[in-house]
Amino acid sequence: MQAAEPVKIERHDLRTREHHTSTGVRPVSVYREHAHGLYVAREFVNHPRIRHWQAHLLPDLGLVVCRYDFHGPREHDYYLDIATVTRGGEVWSVCDHYLDLLVHDGIAAEIVDTDELLAAHRAGYVTAETCMGAVTAAHGVLSGLARARYDLHAWLGTHGVALEWQADSVPA
């Protein structure tokens, strides 16, 4: 049985250019606001698998769309967090709803971390309503991706969202 973890809440402070997570505060190289949310890019220092991270915080879709640059072979093309994204002045906050989707662009997508969500619900960290909302949102995204033949950008386009990414962000 999965151990329960408290809800993760991250903050992005545009003024100080810092990403506050449960494991520390890290400098951010790029913050760029756009019509659909916030673009973030930062290095992962001393991480065993990941060297660089890019993400788009999309409040209207309840998603954080991530792209990781790995030290080794690419494990997936995109990692989608089901989340509530809010903004208060210069600070953007992300409340993670545990469920994530791994997208292998044009091939497949899968929902992961259902065990984490259920453990958090059993432990009282999330309400039944929040739990049901996360499951509904994740399955909605998965169904939309399937209809778009697992093309993330095509699916986002059905919502009027176009995202831009930096090319190979960090030298290999």
pLDDT digits (tens, 9 = 90+) for 95-135: 999 999 999 999 999 999 999 999 999 999 999 999 999 99
Question: For the domain that residue 39 is a member of, what is the CATH number?
Answer: 2.40.380.10
What stretch of H or E contains 140?
Answer: helix 128-147
Structural domain boundaries enclosing 133: 9-157
Closest CA to 105 of 54, 154, 61, 171: 154
User: Over 80: is that where the pLDDT of 145 sits?
Assistant: yes
**Domain-embedded: residue 171:** no
Contact in structure between 13 and 91 (CB atoms under 8 Å): yes
Instruction: Work out the pLDDT band at 7, boundaries 50, 70, 90.
Output: very high
Report if residue 94 sits inside a domain. yes
Work out the average pLDDT over 139-162.
98
In a domain, 4, yes or no: no
Residue 40: inside a domain: yes
Identify whether 163 is part of a domain: no
Determine, yes or no, domain membership for 120. yes
Side-chain half-sphere of 36: how many Cα atoms within 13 Å?
20
**pTM metric for this prediction:** 0.93
Task: Decide if pLDDT at 170 tops 60.
Answer: no
- How many domains is the chain partitioned into structurally? 1
- Given its phi and psi angles, is residue 160 left (phi above 0), alpha (psi -120 to 50 degrees) or beta? left
In a domain, 164, yes or no: no
User: What is the C-alpha separation between 97 and 106, in angstroms, rounded?
Assistant: 25
* Residue 45 covered by a domain: yes
pLDDT digits (tens, 9 = 90+) for 53-96: 999 999 999 999 999 997 888 889 999 999 999 999 999 999 99
